[in-house]
Structure 1
Amino acid sequence: MKQFLQKKAKLVFLCMLVLLTCTACANPRGRDGKTLADQIIASEETTIDASQINYKDISDKELKKEIKKNIKDGQYTIQPTTFKESMSKGWFEGLIVWPIAQIINLISAKTDAGVGIILTTLLIQVLVFLFTRKSQMSTQRMQEIQPEIQKIQNKYKDKTDERSKMQMAQEMQNIYQKYDIHPFGSMLITFIQLPIMMGMYYATMRSVSVVSGSFMGISLAGTPLDGFKALDIAYISIYVLMVIFYIVSMKLPQWLKKWQDKKDNVKVKKYAQEETNPMANSMNMSMYFMTAMICIMYISWPMAMSFYWLVSSVIRVCQSLILHKVMNKK
């Protein structure tokens, strides 16, 4: 059991973190997919069309009656959401969801909901990078040195004695030290990014500027599934671009390594080639599985989330190019 937990520690950690963040907030959407009226976060008093919200699925009957009573001429006025109110519902909502939603609202008030998401995403990515730049550089280096790691693994492939295992571990540790890589550095990135991603999910659904706003005529409260049903090119395009850029952001470090090797006339040994490299194949399978999972989840999530993930992927592509250039310069 102990050995199993040691091998699966990262997976167990991620599952616990996902469970923690997913259960930290109530589901903000009603059965019709619209945001519940009592879940909307506003930075100032805002009047929106009542058809854009859901109040029928609110469990509190008294609150439901009060909201219904306040709908006049098809319009509903939302009062500002304070930090104190958000904190009373839980730390996750107060410390993560509320600030992100308010940043989107403040930026959107001067532009539109789409620009609000773009600039908020950029701000979040910059802050995450400042706190995890060493870990992110280690992660990218780890992807780029896979041929050297594979060489060591192949060297001890058929050796199962303890001495060989220790020698393999030592040689791999030497490689990590040579390239200044911290194998568990990606844990820090995941620890920070996963709660933020879930916070962005709730913020984009609950931000009043997104609930009632749009970007270039596209309603950000709708879902890609709605777009596919209506054959809406704009919805479909954003969703497809999100998938494409996500794959590019995942594969780019490997592509950059191949391009650099070709530029430096580095000959890749047969065992390190992708088609004969079990580790590379395993990484590709994991990437395709993650892509499939994201495609399934995001097709029924608000377009705001697809837009956020698209912007994040574009930023990661730019970040990979910059990190590659910095590492090669060093």
Structure 2
Amino acid sequence: MKRTYWFIVVLFLCIVFLSGCGVNQQPITAETQGIWNHFFVYPMSWLLIFFAGLFNGSFGLSIVIVTVLIRFVLLPLMLKQQKSSRSMQALKPQMEELQNKYKTEEKKKDPKNVQNMQKELMALYQENGVNPMAGCLPIFVQMPVMMAFYFAIMRTEEIALHSFLWVDLGNPDPMFILPLIAGLTTFLQVRMTAFQLQGQMKIIMYIMPIMIIVAGVTLPSALSLYWVVGNVFMIIQTYFTVVRSIPSNVTDISK
């Protein structure tokens, strides 16, 4: 779980860094060369242009619709990831019991004891039908899709020429409303699953929203809109698939 969250944080920082440095900023077209561009980014751009055409050229509505569609397509993977997380959470007391069994300094120094602990952990996983890597695989499948959509928004030239609500999609929100909403919804989303985080990992609740806000005030409003829609979808999904399925005292992050 810890590695998964840090992977998401680092990946987001890399995306923002690449965007800020002007990497892959050239407009995407059907003629753009490269496997990543041709098979990942361009199809997302095509979807954005297609749905904008259905709604009188509204690229704002197009971003909303395509974001929701992608989230629905990825929903089975997200549910699989959440199921794996719940399974690992249920085994946590037994895992801690095993770790405490081999916790003394004398036992830590003996390689055999480390191997024995690993064997007992694997036996525990097999006995309960839990795969500790199952929660990571969906992340690696989802990330290329979400990154491709992110860069499609950045590199679809038509988006920068249109406005939606009070913002020009190609420029930062002058009133900072979308970045602030994106940061707030990010905080709510992470907080809803914060019971899965341990100790210092809970700082992610505050790091992620700050990163989103900072990125939102400097990058095009189209990206802030994308983050807001994606976050709202995830908040609703998390409420129905995670929060309602566990005891209320477990979701209390203060404990």
Gaps of 5+ in 2: 247-255
TM-score if structure 2 supplies the norm length? Answer: 0.72
* Residue of 156, 177, 180 corresponding to 1:237: 177
The structural deviation recorded for 1:280 is 1.8
Is 1:249–2:249 an aligned residue pair? no
Bigger radius of gyration: 1
Cα distance in 1, alignment partners of residues 97 and 215 from structure 2: 38
Gaps of 5+ in 1: 1-7, 30-38, 42-80, 258-278
* Residue of 204, 217, 226 corresponding to 1:308: 226
Cα distance in 2, alignment partners of residues 146 and 248 from structure 1: 26
What is the identity, as a one-letter code, of the residue corresponding to 1:148? P
* Cα RMSD after superposing both structures: 3.9
Q: Give the aligned partner of residue 222 of structure 1.
A: 171
Cα distance in 2, alignment partners of residues 150 and 283 from structure 1: 19
Residues 98 and 218 (structure 1), Cα distance of their counterparts in 2 relative to 1, 3 Å cut: same
Aligned length: 233
Is 1:113–2:31 an aligned residue pair? no
The structural deviation recorded for 1:170 is 2.5
Residues 128 and 240 (structure 1), Cα distance of their counterparts in 2 relative to 1, 3 Å cut: same
The structural deviation recorded for 1:181 is 4.1
Q: Give the aligned partner of residue 155 of structure 1.
A: 100
1:1-330 maps to which residues of 2 (within 5 A)? 27-29=23-25, 39-41=26-28, 81-82=29-30, 85-86=31-32, 89-111=33-55, 112-131=58-77, 133-142=79-88, 144-145=89-90, 148=93, 151-152=96-97, 155-156=100-101, 158-160=103-105, 161=107, 162-163=112-113, 166-167=116-117, 170=120, 174=124, 178=128, 181-224=130-173, 227=174, 232=175, 236-254=176-194, 280-324=198-242
With CA pairs under 8 Å and 6+ residues apart, which has the higher RCO, 1 or 2? 2
What is the identity, as a one-letter code, of the residue corresponding to 2:76? L
- Which range is displaced more, 290-299 or 204-213? 290-299
TM-score if structure 1 supplies the norm length? Answer: 0.58
CA contact (8 A) 2:182 2:231 kept: yes
Secondary structure of 1:185 counterpart: coil
What is the identity, as a one-letter code, of the residue corresponding to 1:130? P
